[in-house]
A and B are shown apart, each in its own frame.
Chain A
Amino acid sequence: MPDLLPPFDAHRVFVAPWTTDLPTYGWMTLMAFLVTTACGLVGNYLILRRMALVGDAISHSVLPGLAVAFLISGKLTLPAMLAGALGAGLITTFLIEFLHTRSRIKADAAIGITFCSLFALGVVLINVFASKVHLDAECVLYGELSHLALAEHSLGMPVPVLVMGGVALIVVVLIVLFYKELLITSFDALLAGSQGFAPGKMHLALMASLSIVIVAAFESVGAILVIAMLILPGATAQLLSTRLPICLVLSVLHAAVSAIGGLHLSLILGCPMAAAVVVAGTLLFGVAWAISWMRQRARTIVSDIHAVVS
């Protein structure tokens, strides 16, 4: 189907984004990298704590948070968005907990009920009152990195990039500062509790940072692709390394490669860049999976040889 793909032009796809179109694509790639880095770093801990689907839930429920923040404050300023997302994230965490401790609803169903309901609420709020919101429900689903070209600039860069950069920086700083606390509460919550490291509070703090990361990433990648940004880097890294610090570094690397790969992929395929970044990230995951599989094979073969030799 020739008309499905735009005509391939090596210059347009590989050279122009880094030369003539750099002002547009440069920011978009940087943004994709920052989003994936921040999400991926937090996501590492989500995967380790088996909370990947809680991340899924919060990414959906940020939407009503934004809608309500807009309805109350009248416009989507940065503080209003952060407050809305934070509130939504904590309410989601609380509701899931409440539903499955106070009734016979199991945890998985509690997650499903909570985020579906909140997401539906968000969509309805936006649809009913949206004529004035610059937040279309569809943007939630695709995300649009290309809006960046039209964003206001401040300090020489588009405001969303600045915000995302700040959030990513904060995430890195927090992980460096609280590395020990995060490690022990994720690995062995009981020991952490007995040593006074308040696993419950760490959990809430993690959920709060997760909500903030998600809301910052929201407009660029949408509610569903952000789940990929949360899980893909960490999952890829954890297939390749068995040390947490290395995993964290690898997820940043994964973010960089998938951002650049996504840029070119989106130009080749002519599809939305946010989705292309995820597809590139998925390809990287596939490669990592193949590597780890081959390593396992190699190890069994080596041990077989050992067995035969001895």
Chain B
Amino acid sequence: MRFPKTVVLPVIWLLLTNAAHAARIGDLTETSITEQALRFFTFSDPSLRLALLGCILLGLNCGLLGGFVVVRRMSLVGDTLSHAVLPGVALGFLWNHTKDPLAILIGATLVGCLSMLTVSAITRTTRLKEDAAMGLVLSSFYAIGICLIGMIQRLPSGNKSGIDKFLFGQAAAMNGHDITLMAVTSGLTLLFVTFGYRGLLTLSFHRAFGESLGLPMGFLHHAMMLLISFAVVTAMQAVGVVLVSAMLIIPPATACLLTDRLHRVLILSAIIGIATAVFGAFFSFLGSNLPTGPFMVLAGSLVFTMTFLFSPKQGWLTRLWRQQTQKCRIERENTLKAMYHLAERYGFREEGITLLELANTRREPLEQIRQRSDDLIRQKLATLTEDGSMLHFTPEGWRKASAIVRNHRLWELYLTNIMQYGADHVHDDAEKIEHVLGEDTVRQLERRLDFPQTDPHGKAIPGARDIHAAIAKPNLGKPTGY
């Protein structure tokens, strides 16, 4: 499958081949990359300064509005809007055959509103669901836009219009007018979000409730949609039609992973938005004619991925790691419990527990028991005699062991006495629950069960006194209280 570059629409193709032949990162030598990087950081280039300012405004604007978009589960509305405004861009261009930002903004906003109206008209009057309606509007409007652009490209004025830059975005193509417009729309967004925050919060959380309070929910919703289309249209030059919705989704989604209060989401998402926009501009600046949009989005996805994996509360790897730690703790507690059972069997008279006995009770090879005892020793829960055959509880270890046994027996008692489960059902369950019962729940259970002394199998439940008794007498593997 090949694409020789002589085609029916020579002008488009000329533009495309120009882009294709332009320098790529790979073609650049090391020095020019560093030179470019230097130019970037010294802000020596006035057009660069403009582009950078544009990116910051874009990140701010999209980040703020995107917060609401994501929270309100309208992520794909941004996607629809960004594709559907394309004919508006073309019409705006046709207005006076130049890339007049204001004309394009007006054209695109009008078409954007039209596309949203069409979506709601389709879902209201037909059996089609919202997703189908959005996909339909998105792609049909886009096709109309492509047709118009194809026609424009044949015009003498369209030839050099740079209207193709709208597809993938080129931050460097922005001029002073574009930046002014961006500053105005970002300012509007900032004002809107600051002064309308409470209303917007209500709108996002529960629209019907806001309406019942007499808040202007409809007005806020439409104003927000208008601002979103402004944001999409002004950002389009830098990010491109296809990817502009990413700037509305990725920074706020990242922020949502980090915090759960809306105002923090908004602030964080604006910061992340600015950072990704600037990074994207930087990377695309390294090559001489690289599109900005994809680099911005990739920078955003990178930040998102890192957050998704490592965020302190929600991170996937963080959680995996926590579960792993948890598993180790449970194993440790099970070993302690086995030691307690052995001690109990001997009426708490023995000096310590031999590793061999422990291996027999836990039905594990001696080698593994040795590892487990090493772990206990590392955690200062037990000590090993010098010949390495006997384990003794440390006071802390004793406290833990009796707490676990108490939890187990309390839970069994709770299930049999209060929940009326059969005595043969409760053991496995208690095996799991014993590790997660907190002190509060234990108190609650004890009260509920009227401070019981023995479990359903007739064994003693260690009480709070017994557990803390050992601490008063250090040096003890033999809790003489029993």
Contact = CB atoms under 8 A, between A and B. Distances in A.
The reply, when asked whether chain A contacts chain B directly with Cβ atoms under 8 A, is yes
Contacts of A4: 94, 151-152, 155
A112 B81 CA distance: 13
Question: How extensive is the interface on chain A, given as a class?
Answer: 35 or more
B458 interface: no
A144 to B, nearest CB: 7
A160 interface: yes
B76 A51 contact: no
Interface in A268-310: 269-272, 274-276, 278-279, 281-282, 285, 289, 292-293, 296
Nearest to A159: B1
Contact of A271 (B25, B150, B294): B150
A136 interface: yes
Contacts of A81: 1
B243 A120 contact: yes
Given A4-B155, A120-B294, A124-B295, A235 B128 contact: yes
Interface stretch (B5-13, B40-48, B336-344, B360-368): B5-13
Contact of B127 (A238, A274, A281): A238
B73 interface: yes
Given A52-B135, A109-B249, A136 B16 contact: yes
Interface residues of B, number: 78
Interface in B52-90: 70, 73-76, 78-79, 83
A142 B125 contact: no
B291 interface: yes
Contacts of B308: 99, 103
B139 A278 contact: yes
B246 A116 contact: yes
A57 to B, nearest CB: 9
Interface stretch (B141-149, B220-228, B474-482): B141-149
Overall SS of chain B's interface: helix
A123 B291 contact: yes
Contacts of A227: 135, 138-139
B375 interface: no
Interface stretch (A8-16, A30-38, A146-154, A180-188): A146-154
Contacts of A160: 1
A244 interface: no
Given A134-B2, A278-B140, A113 B250 contact: yes
A231 interface: yes
B19 A138 contact: yes
A51 B129 CA distance: 10
Task: Among A128, A141, A151, A219, find the residue whose CB has the most chain B CB atoms closer than 10 A.
Answer: A141
A249 interface: no
A285 B140 contact: yes
Contacts of B301: 113, 116-117, 120-121
Task: Among A146, A151, A231, find the residue whose CB has the most chain B CB atoms closer than 10 A.
Answer: A231
B19 A102 contact: no
Contact of A279 (B127, B138, B144, B164): B144
A210 to B, nearest CB: 13
Contacts of B27: 131
Top 9 nearest A-B pairs by Cβ distance? A228-B139, A116-B246, A278-B143, A117-B301, A120-B297, A271-B150, A275-B146, A271-B147, A123-B294
Interface of A: 1, 3-6, 46-47, 50-53, 55-56, 60, 76, 78, 81, 99, 102-106, 108-109, 111-113, 116-117, 119-121, 123-124, 127-131, 134-139, 141-142, 144, 146-147, 150-151, 159-160, 219, 224-225, 227-228, 230-232, 234-235, 238-239, 269-272, 274-276, 278-279, 281-282, 285, 289, 292-293, 296
